[in-house]
Chains A and B, each alone.
Chain A
């Protein structure tokens, strides 16, 4: 089937990024690299600037100085190659699941028939087949996040930015969403920047975890050993968890 043209993962580099609100900087010269196809998790105390970072990379929030580079090219504004997944659902409440998932494809001017086909493919992929005609308000929180994931994946972005996408879900739903994400990402390894508070979530998903400090800089980078999902009983993983917990405790998260 040709509905999923092979996604191209992009490398991401943040080079001395400064961003903030009013007179205050939230990020004061942040450097960060993500390899093409890397799953990079961002963790850090609440209010340290994780959302600001994602919004700056997406182009929604202006960068005051420094550069955001995708495959070496500085980004200008928002673009379909950097998708953002929100914690609250960003679905348009007046559009059905199908029309929400089709939306990025319509923005990209993809012909209707192909739009339908690709949207249907991703709706099925996230386990929402049969719910195409439902409005967001008729879905549970978990199902809305599935729909949002389908919408993001259908757009075929090179970088996916996810801002605590599962934080509002109950434990069981969160676990199944995590499994779905790993599954999909394995099949199409896009570069992912994923914000979470949850240490276990970080370890389950990440290739690497970047811990931010309150000054909006990277305090620690922790490699997570494979295979995925991380088996907490292996010595390597236990060590990674210990390092991550130590770094987070240091930053007061």
Chain B
């Protein structure tokens, strides 16, 4: 232990290390999770294979085995990966621009009253419009569909990120900023050292939500006006009556959305390790 070198015998207060969390048995929890998935698949297979018509027409749906076969088949084709890459590229472009502009403008709105007065009314008017309703505008505005889709994805992700960032910056305790200012730190130093790091937990909340809506919008936009991309392929399969292909598209979208959200979540948790445990979990 450290020796406290003070004139008086000082109290060596021990570090308040966070107590280890009680361990649950992981194997049982995984078993339960797997069981629920398996049960769902079995039910699906049972209903579709038996051509069940319980008002809802399960006989119209492909069976699990049809879908699995189609999935394996598509995994062997180049176009599947082409679609994946296209959709991911659109997401990364739209979401990336939204992240940079959303965080930047969010900080600006929170910190500069002039910017807030100038931009806030505009944002309040545009914000309630679902991004997908901008498809006609996007088609008119942009020379190519590609840019239109990225634009729609950007708009979708932008507002949650903007709003969360603005809120996170506003909610910061002033003591952090005061501390840095009394060290002689100026505006730029305060921004870099206090405002941005302190807002990160809130920013990552916005990024998570933004990533979710970005997927909704990229897929919808692809269905409407895309060339290639998972959303386009899913709709395409429907129009050519390849129903197993539709389900494969849906599953692919689900997996993409889940993995990109998980990536954001993971990054957020790594960056905000300093938060008390109960908040990060």
Contacts and interface: CB of A to CB of B under 8 A. Distances in A.
A78 interface: yes
Contact of A86 (B175, B189, B274): B175
Contact of B16 (A79, A125, A138): A138
Interface in B1-43: 1-18
Interface in B154-205: 175-176, 178-185, 189, 193-194, 197-198, 200
A179 B5 CA distance: 11
A176 interface: yes
A79 B180 CA distance: 10
Contact of A182 (B7, B189, B194): B7
B276 interface: yes
Contacts of B175: 86, 88, 90
A173 B11 contact: yes
Contacts of A108: 183-184
Contacts of B16: 137-140
A236 to B, nearest CB: 22
A128 interface: yes
A173 B13 contact: yes
B275 to A, nearest CB: 8
Given A88-B175, A92-B194, A135-B274, A176 B10 contact: yes
Contacts of B1: 130
Given A86-B175, A92-B193, A183-B7, A131 B15 contact: yes
B8 A83 contact: no
Contacts of A182: 7
Interface string A62-96: 00000000000000001111111010101111110
Interface in A17-60: 58-60
A20 B163 CA distance: 33
A88 B200 CA distance: 22
Interface in B105-122: none
Given A58-B182, A131-B15, A179 B10 contact: yes
Contact of A78 (B15, B176, B182): B182
Nearest to B181: A78
Interface in A105-131: 107-108, 124-125, 127-131
A172 B11 contact: yes
Interface residues of A, number: 47
Nearest to A127: B4
A189 interface: no
A107 B189 contact: yes
A83 B184 CA distance: 9
Given A84-B178, A92-B179, A139 B6 contact: no
Contacts of A129: 2
Nearest to B175: A90
B273 to A, nearest CB: 8
A142 to B, nearest CB: 5
B207 to A, nearest CB: 17
B174 to A, nearest CB: 9
Contacts of A103: 180, 183, 193
A79 B182 CA distance: 6
B14 A80 contact: no
Contact of B276 (A58, A60, A125, A137): A137
Given A103-B193, A176-B8, A138 B17 contact: yes
Contacts of B9: 176
B229 to A, nearest CB: 38
A58 B9 CA distance: 33
Contacts of A155: 183
Nearest to A79: B184
B54 to A, nearest CB: 55
Given A86-B175, A127-B2, A179-B6, A139 B15 contact: yes
A137 B183 contact: no
B276 to A, nearest CB: 6
A81 to B, nearest CB: 8
Contact of A175 (B8, B180, B275): B8
A180 interface: yes
B183 to A, nearest CB: 4
Nearest to B9: A176
A143 B13 contact: yes
A225 interface: no
7 contacts: A80-B183, A84-B179, A127-B2, A127-B5, A127-B10, A131-B15, A143-B13
Interface of A: 58-60, 78-84, 86, 88, 90-95, 103-104, 107-108, 124-125, 127-131, 134-140, 142-143, 155, 172-173, 175-176, 179-180, 182-183
Interface of B: 1-18, 175-176, 178-185, 189, 193-194, 197-198, 200, 272, 274-276
A-B CB proximity, top 10 nearest: A127-B4, A80-B184, A176-B10, A90-B179, A179-B8, A94-B274, A104-B183, A84-B182, A140-B13, A130-B2
